[in-house]
Amino acid sequence: MHLLFWLSLVPFASGWMGENNFDKWPTVLYGMILLMNGIAYYILSRMLIQLHGNSSTLATAIGRDTKGILSIIIRFGVVYIYKNTVEIGVRTYRN
């Protein structure tokens, strides 16, 4: 439910960001929602691995999840930078 909640906010935030031509606060909110989506997915994957065990097919497929952790760190950094420098954040989210 945690992941679904954050996923349900993406259309609202992207619509608000588009209506305001990538103004600062709608774009910061969009980035925060993407960050929370990443954190919620990480929590869900860890809980499922704990439930099924470290030798399960899921645990083998996810592995150490370096990409997921790196994604969370990068999103946090982009949101932090965007709060201070608008141009960098706009380039990041428009691509």
- pLDDT, tens digit, for every residue of 26-77? 888 998 999 999 999 999 999 999 999 999 999 999 988 899 899 899 888 8
Q: What is the pTM of this model?
A: 0.82
Q: What does DSSP assign to residue 72?
A: H
Q: Say what the pLDDT of residue 77 is.
A: 86
Q: Say what the pLDDT of residue 59 is.
A: 92
**Total domain count, the chain:** 1
Q: Say what the pLDDT of residue 90 is.
A: 66
Question: Which distant-in-sequence residues (6+ apart) come within 8 Å of 10 by Cβ?
Answer: 30, 33, 34, 37
Range of the domain at 49: 2-94
Residue with tokens 């609202």: 12
* pLDDT for 89 beyond 80: no
* pLDDT for 15 beyond 90: yes
